[in-house]
Each structure stands twice: as C-alpha cells, then as structure tokens.
Structure 1
Amino acid sequence: MMKTKSLVLASVVATTLSIPAMAADNFVGAAYGNQQNDYDFGSGYSKDVNDPTYQLRAGTYINNEARLYLTYSFNDDEFAKQQMGLVSYDFLIPVTSDQKLNWFVGATAGMNHISPDASSLDSANRFVWGGQTGLQYKINPKLSTEVGYRYLKQDYSKSIVSLDNSQQVYLGVDYRF
C-alpha cells in the first residue's frame, strides 16, 4: 500500500514539475497560520493541539481557473515537529466580475515527516491527503493574498500515540512572475 502511495505521489510531483515549462504565470509565496493536530493516546484520551504553521510555496497558474503548486509546511507542537511536502491543485471560481476576488477549492496530497519529542517514539514519514478552500484577493497583477483552510488526513500511529488529522487556517501572500 505504501509503495502504491509513493508511486502515485512521485507521478504527481513529476507532472507538477513539468507544467511550469508550459505555463506563463508562475508564483512563489509564503503563509502563516494555525495548525490543529488531533492526537489520540488510547484508552479514550485524545487532545487537540494548536500551534503556528509556517509555509513556503511555488507553483503555476495553468489558466485563470486553475493553479498547481508545491508547499513546504512546518509545525512544532508540544508532542512533535512536522514537516510536510504537499502537491495541491485548486479550482479558482470568480466572486467578482473582474476576477480580483476568487473562491478556491482543491485537493492536496504529500508526505509528512513527524519527529516526536518523546525519545521512545521513532520519526516517521507518512502519506497525507486532503483538501483546501478559501478566498484569494488580487492586489495587483503581480501580488495576491489569500485566507485559507486546509484539512489533512494523516495515518501516523506509533505505540499508544496516533495522529488522525491536521487542520490549518492560514493567511498567505503570493508573487507572480
């Protein structure tokens, strides 16, 4: 199963890296927000942990209605550090006729490297997947900002600790070139 997930992820990344050669509107950006991790410690005890998330991303606008991008995300909470490499595809739906304000909705898949703070738990790479939605506002032709929400399903489980999902709320800024 993990081999299949790795193969699918590698195919998506290869496709993502080839698209900028065809597209004219590339972008780079950064985002800051909050990440909530839903931990389960067995015996009916669970805890939601909220801490900052930092993100860097780069991608391309395929056309006015779609974008494809890679995101590096970092989160450090009281139980573990997480570093994610994500591939995302969003549909852009105009809210205003001039397309300055767009609603976006899309899918995400990638890998998450979890490094637990407890020395008895090993670090692990896990497949994550989910989706995102939000609003994007074009300040000018080169600069845009967005507020977004991303849900990520996780499958981390070691000993008595498991991480079922992570949710991110973020504010981002992108520069087109």
Structure 2
Amino acid sequence: MMKKIALIAVPATFLLGANVAQASDNSWFVGGAAQKQMSKSEQTPMAQNPMLGQDFSSKDRDWGFELKAGKYLGANDEHRVTMTYTNTDGGSTYGDYEQQNFLASYDYLYSLSADNRWRAFAGVTAGMAHTKFDGADSANDFVYGAQVGVNYRITDNWETELGYRYLKQDFSATASNGDKFELDRTEQVYLGVNYRF
C-alpha cells in the first residue's frame, strides 16, 4: 500500500510543480554532496548449511556521494523538484555491497530568515536502487521515503545544504557460498553544495 501511495505521490508533486512554475521565477540548479549512509540488513551466514551460522541484524555505516539536478518553483522558491543519483560502497560482516540510487523527489521549503537565505525543507522521494552483493547477482528494486534538512543561500549562485534521507528498501541476495543478505532500509546524512543558474 505504501509503495502505491509513493508511486502516485511523487509524479503528482512534479505536476503540481509544473503548474506553480507558470507564475514563478524559476531557478535551475546542479549540485553534489558527500554522504554517510547507515544500512539496516538481515544476514544469514552459510544459509545452505544452517548448522554453521544463524540469522542476525547488522547496521553498517559507509561513505558515499551524490549528484543532483533540479528546479526551484514558486514566487519565493518554496517548491523544489530534484533528480538525484547516489553511490555508496557498503561493508557488512559477511560481504560487501555497492548500491546506486536513482531518485525523484519533491520538497517544500520554509523560510527561517527575513532575507530568505536560511530555509528548512521536507519532502518525499521515490525511485530505483541498483544493488550488488559480493558473489551474487545484482538487482533493481523500488525504493521510497522522505527527507528533511536545512538549506543556506550563500550567494545568488551558490548554496549549501545539510539533509537527512530515509529510504525503505526490499533487496535480497544469496552469494555463491550460501551467505544471504537482505537490505531493509538505508538512512543517509549528506552535506553538499548547489550551483544555481
């Protein structure tokens, strides 16, 4: 049910943004960020021989990066639509994995200062995750979630942003040696800069 809601909500917000854009001073941007990702997974070592191991949960923290492009909409840039690519190399107890996310998101921004330079934002996101676990085939899965953060306009062309993103996932893989890996969710804290034009 939540997946269906997310699939409807994200395209709808892009349509909303398009309508707002007709009466606004739009601003495009591109950006990049460094991120720290926490991954919540369930693992079963040597799943083909349960006598050698047992299920356990793991929370792993790894570094990654992201690239984005999007557009601000509205008279005060209070709406934002973004396409984001993220890449993280993760390490777990019984193997490593690499994940790439391709995300579409909408944010509503609320001004925190009279000059509109400081703004808080919150929004929804959905897209596809391409995940590869050591010794197993890669897979593409639907992901969805939300993000919040703070944005600061440094100059007319530059801004910086600190954010938190939560993504619900449903990836599972079994390596050739029998190790089983299931990725339940990821949480990302990122800090980056955007160039507006």
Tell me if both proteins adopt one fold, taking TM over 0.5 as the criterion: yes
2:137 aligned with 1:122? yes
- How far did 1:24 drift? 2.8
Per-residue deviation, residues 20-73 of structure 1 (Å, max 9, x unmatched): x96731000001010111110144401111111200000000122110010000
2:162 aligned with 1:147? yes
| Residue number in structure 2 paired with 1:75 | 88
Q: Which runs of 5+ in 2 are unaligned?
A: 45-53, 175-179
| Residue number in structure 2 paired with 1:168 | 188
2:33 aligned with 1:31? yes
Contact 2:10/2:106 (<8 A) preserved: no
AA aligned to 1:131 is A
Residues 62-141 of structure 1 mapped to structure 2, 5 A cutoff = 62-63=73-74, 64-78=77-91, 79-118=96-135, 121-141=136-156
Q: Which runs of 5+ in 1 are unaligned?
A: none
Per-residue deviation, residues 145-170 of structure 1 (Å, max 9, x unmatched): 01000000001123432100000001
| Residue number in structure 2 paired with 1:52 | 63
Contact 1:9/1:109 (<8 A) preserved: no
Distance, in Å, in 2 between the alignment partners of 1:9 and 1:95 is 26
Q: TM-score, length-normalised on structure 1?
A: 0.86
Moved more, 138-147 or 41-50: 41-50
Distance, in Å, in 1 between the alignment partners of 2:34 and 2:158 is 17
| Residue number in structure 2 paired with 1:41 | 43
Say which SS state the counterpart of residue 108 (structure 1) adopts.
Answer: strand
Counting matched residue pairs gives 174
Per-residue deviation, residues 79-130 of structure 1 (Å, max 9, x unmatched): 2100110001000011112110000000010000001112xx2110000000
Distance, in Å, in 1 between the alignment partners of 2:109 and 2:73 is 11
**Structure 1 residues 51 and 66, CA gap change in structure 2 (3 angstroms):** same
Distance, in Å, in 2 between the alignment partners of 1:11 and 1:136 is 24
Distance, in Å, in 2 between the alignment partners of 1:70 and 1:163 is 23
Identity %: 40
Distance, in Å, in 2 between the alignment partners of 1:115 and 1:132 is 24
Contact 1:53/1:168 (<8 A) preserved: no
Which structure would you say has the larger Rg? 2
